[in-house]
Amino acid sequence: MRVLLVDDEVEFVATLAERLSFRNIEVDYATKGADALVLAKKKVYDLAILDMKMPGISGIELKGLLEKQSPTMKFIFLTGHGSEDDYKAGTSEACCYLIKPINIDILLAKIKQATEE
Amino acid sequence: MSIFEQISPDFLKSRNVTSGPFRQMFNYSLIWRWAILLTSAVTLLPLILITAVDYNFTQKSIESENLLRTLRVASNARRAISFFLSERKSALSFIVHDKSVDDLNNPEKLAALLKNLRDSFGGFVDLGVIDKNGFQTTYVGPYTLEGKDYSDQQWFKEVQEKGFHISDVFLGFRKVPHLVIAVRHNLPDGSFYILRTALDTILFNEHLSSLELSGRGDAFLINHQGIIQTPTRYQSKIFEKIAYAIPAYSDNTEIREDKNIAGDQVIICSAYIPDSPYILMIVKHKKDMMQSWSETRLKLIGFLAVSITVILMVILGFSTYLVNNVYLADQRRLMILHEMEYSNKLASIGRLAAGVAHEINNPLAIINEKAGLIKDLFTYVETYAADARILGLIDSILASVERCGTITKRLLGFARHMEVTIESISLEKVLDEVLGFLQKEAEYRNIAVNLDIAADIPEFQSDRGKLQQIFLNIVNNAFGAMDVGGKLDIAVRQDDTQHIITRITDNGCGMSEEDLGKIYEPFYSTKTKTGGTGLGLSITYGLVQELGGKIHVTSKKGAGTTFTVSLPLEPPPKTAEK
């Protein structure tokens, strides 16, 4: 399974990517939306885990752009904010919506659920 | 509750809050009193003043009219009596001028004259001729008075001097009241004779008694010495002296006030009858004269009393209505103001919490992932896997991060649910969240919280934020009422297919019946000294109503309180539309 992980917090995204790779998930990560789009052009990913609030292209916008490239791609949103807008967008646009800090087991369960759908 | 308390308006029952955030705009009780006082003063004073002027004027007018009427009656009576006497005196004068002394000394002719006089004028009793020596030479009448000597009598001397005489009323030989008129006629030889007649006083008396005198009015004659000459109704008997002072001589009819023997105020009208020894007296009781005034006065005072009562009632009713409406408007204004303040405060807390949670969440996520990675390394790389102590330490870090994460997520959730949203609610989760906020306090104060939720409670449609506020307020109140070591029981049951019932029971200080009746009133608080606003339960009540539910409270002083919240499974249409 190939997962694309995008978050502007490099410390977070790099560590989470490494942790997922320990669990036999092939992960690429980016800290900007533009970098993520470049990665998605090179490879096909089953799932994208996107931070909702990022400088430049936001998580929601990025989802739209990625969907154009890979219509079958699934999405999980991450957020550290949990505002009303995030909540509405996160629950309507993606299969699930997780607030940081996340439990790795819950994330794995959500990844499994999303990809199985 | 007394009747006064039941009918008294809201502003009289309320406490006058003069300072602090719940300060009332006005002192309503004072405004009410001033409104009544001033309105009463400006309406009643002119009314009373006009009535007093009218009272005085009417009294004087009636009094003056009565006096004038009495004067008129007296003047008429005086003229009538005077005419009666002068008419008879003139008749005698005519006879002495018309007839010769010989004719008059002829008894037959004298008798014929007496008959003519009786027929023409009335009142004549007898007729006699008296010579210059005072002997009655001829007499016709009911008695035998011929040859009687009057020479030593006062009236005989008076006739010689004045030419005529009208006597006082006296009994005389006949023992019946009568008066005498005598006229002198001079003869060519220088001598004279006197024609004398006795008059019956019945005509007099009839005339006097026929005068229209109201009540205990009386009309009679006295002589110049004050001896009563004619019968009276209420005075002394005839020929006795009157009880009043003899009026001073005057050509006119006079009127004065006096007091009778009984001490009553009387009006005395007097008139000297010209060329006679008589004074006409009319005596009236002032009270009788003012009888019509008494009736008018009663009507006037009655009208004033009814007017004052009606005006006061209208003023009282209208002032109370107006002041109460202003008071209620002020109360609504305060309520809305404080609800807004409260909502703003909650929203600010929500925003602050969300900001803090967000700022903490990102570094917390990094700690989480770093610690997680360390654990992964120890788990997945065999070289490190044996060190159980380090794995334990990492688990401890991860557990703490999770705990922090739970708190920040709860804060975010609380902030998000400030806005009105109908969603599917698990009451258990809501109660868990609410109790989560108070968990530390419960631990510090050793309060046991028992949450008993029936297994069959379904999820239902409602507003999470409002439910949180409702239960947070009730549980907060319960915590406030309990001492260290208290016990809070929360039981959730489904009573029928439509409602979920939540019972929150504490074993705190409880409430008196008086407090119990007022707990939902805005600004009513038993905790004003410790910062209570008196709005918590008022808002709770409003929120429960808004969600289509019901709230009920039972309490016993010293034993504890139970709040029962009944919530519908479906929200009311109005809320659902939001």
Indicate which CATH number applies to the domain containing B437. 3.30.565.10
As a whole number of angstroms, the distance between CA B359 and CA B50 comes to 82
The single residue listed with the structure tokens 């997922």 is A20
Among residues B245, B262, B289, the one where a domain terminates is B289
Among residues B260, B289, B318, the one where a domain terminates is B289
Q: Does B333 fall in a domain?
A: no
Within 8 A of B413 by CB-CB distance, chain A residues are 82
Boundaries of domain holding B63: 22-289
Q: B429 and B280, same structural domain?
A: no
Read out DSSP for B313-376? HHHHHHHHHHHHHHHHHHHHHHHHHHHHHHHHHHHHHHHHHHHHHHHHHHHHHHHHHHHHHHHH
Best residue in B360, B369, B374, B377 for a mutation probing chain A (most A CBs within 10 Å): B369
Alpha-helical runs (H) found in B427-490? 427-444, 464-481
Q: Does B469 fall in a domain?
A: yes
Residue pair B469/B434 in contact by the 8 Å Cβ criterion: no
Total of domains in chain B: 2
Nearest CA-CA distance, residue B355 and chain A, Å: 8
pLDDT tens readout for residues B205-217: 888 888 777 777 8
Nearest to B486, CA basis, from B440, B452, B443, B446: B446
pLDDT at B442: 84
Classified as helix, coil or strand, B63 is helix
Q: Please list the pLDDT of chain B residue by residue as tens digits (578 residues).
A: 567 666 777 777 766 666 555 566 678 888 899 999 999 999 999 999 999 999 999 999 999 998 999 999 999 999 999 999 999 999 999 999 999 999 999 999 999 999 999 999 888 999 999 999 999 999 999 888 888 899 888 889 999 999 999 999 988 766 788 899 999 999 988 899 999 999 988 887 888 888 777 777 889 999 999 999 998 887 778 889 998 899 999 999 999 999 888 888 899 999 999 999 999 999 998 888 888 888 888 998 999 999 999 999 999 999 999 998 988 888 888 777 777 776 666 666 666 777 777 778 888 888 999 889 888 888 887 777 667 778 888 888 888 888 787 777 766 665 555 555 677 888 888 898 888 878 877 887 889 999 998 888 888 888 887 888 889 888 888 888 888 889 999 999 988 778 899 999 999 888 888 787 777 765 566 665 554 555 677 778 878 887 888 889 999 888 899 999 999 887 776 544 43
Q: Does B414 fall in a domain?
A: no
Nearest to B334, CA basis, from B17, B8, B33: B17
pLDDT tens readout for residues B479-490: 888 888 899 999
**B30 alpha-carbon distance from chain centroid:** 19
Query: What whole-number percentage of chain A has pLDDT above 70?
Result: 87
Among residues B289, B319, B342, the one where a domain terminates is B289
pLDDT at B21: 54
Q: Which residues partner with B449 through β-bridges?
A: B488
As a whole number of angstroms, the distance between CA B283 and CA B219 comes to 6
Closest Cβ opposite residue B419 in set A11, A15, A84 = A84
CATH of residue B67: 3.30.450.20
**Closest B-chain CA to A81:** B358
User: Is A80 in contact with B405 (Cβ distance < 8 A)?
Assistant: no
pLDDT at B577: 40
What is the interface pTM, i.e. ipTM, of the complex? 0.86
Is the domain covering A2-116 a CATH 3.90.79.10 domain?
Answer: no
As a whole number of angstroms, the distance between CA B389 and CA B391 comes to 5
b or e along B356-371 (b: 16 or more beta carbons within 10 Å of the residue's beta carbon)? ebbebbbebbbbbbbb
As a whole number of angstroms, the distance between CA B292 and CA A115 comes to 114
Closest Cβ opposite residue B373 in set A15, A83, A103 = A15
Residue pair B14/B27 in contact by the 8 Å Cβ criterion: no
Q: What is the pTM of this model?
A: 0.50
Instruction: Count Cβ–Cβ pairs < 8 Å, chain A vs chain B.
Output: 72
Nearest CA-CA distance, residue A103 and chain B, Å: 8
pLDDT at B534: 59
Tell me which of A74 and B346 has the higher pLDDT.
Answer: A74
Best residue in B364, B366, B408, B418 for a mutation probing chain A (most A CBs within 10 Å): B366
